[in-house]
Amino acid sequence: MVNGEQRVGGHVLRIGMPKGFNHCYDTFMDGQPGHEPDCKSFSYTSLQGGNIPEFEIIVAKRKMDPKTFSQEHEASFESYQGVIYYCFNRLLSASSETVKVNDVLHVGMDFNVTKMAAVVYVRRGEHMHAVDEFFNLFDTPAMIEAIQERYPNHEVAVYPDASGENRKSSNASETDLALLRKAGFKVHVNSRNPAVKDRINSMNGMLCNTLSERRLFVNVDKCPHFAKCLERRIYDDYGQPDKSAGFDHMNDAGTYPIAYLFPIDKKSVGVRRIRGMS
């Protein structure tokens, strides 16, 4: 019906991009040989479309994991089920690095009363190494004390959950982020957390990109809980990251620094540069 009149015939053109196996996939399959005779469907990669320069495609391959690149640039319908951080491999992602004198520590932190979590990274050239973790601490003051006790002579940059700007630990008059700054830590945080999907994509892209390059490694001996959470966190029946098994806090902590420093931004090909990261 158009303006109250029933129209017969005509054509409909639908243009879109894959996002899992949703209605777009069903419509695309209608136009494939052997399906609906009145429908036709075609797919084109980003490079074939002619609007994205080849150098941007190459940059995307370096920043994205294989599954995300296939969906975003090769018009491929990908299933986001099973293990979330599928690019993590306990052997191929293994690191023997530890904290050294004068290392700047890049600490991802997730706020939860009685379940505070933090992952400590150091940079080696173009690679990030997870070299320590803090697990199930009571609150932010306890986390600050633990970090200062273990690393009293290091510069500490914290990449926390953005909710800490308004959240207060129990019986505290200052917000969690204010407590971190007061402790002398440099806090790097945006006004709000990046989308969960963006953090996952940044993490997988660093663990193993489309060119099979690995730029993020984990010292499994120093970070046993983090490694376990990377291996075991899965998508639930609705395609969302599962929170029921308790593998979310360490992963959230571990992904905040990566998403902040190495964001997958379709409008920009750069990365953030801060002290200790150049």
List, for residues 171-215, the tens digit of each pLDDT value. 555 789 999 999 999 999 988 888 899 999 999 999 999 999 999
Q: Are 129 and 157 in contact (CB under 8 A)?
A: no
Kindly list the domain boundaries of the chain, sorted by start residue: 23-73, 105-261
Class of domain 105-261: alpha beta
Considering the entire predicted model, what is its pTM? 0.78
Report, as an integer, the average pLDDT of 44-56: 81
- 155: pLDDT strictly greater than 90: yes
- 84: pLDDT strictly greater than 90: yes
- 72: pLDDT strictly greater than 90: no
How many C-beta atoms lie closer than 10 Å to residue 253's C-beta?
Answer: 28
- Determine how β-strand 116-124 pairs with β-strand 105-110: antiparallel
Q: In whole angstroms, what is the distance from residue 217 CA to residue 90 CA? A: 9
Give the pLDDT band (50/70/90) at residue 269: very low
- 266: pLDDT strictly greater than 70: no
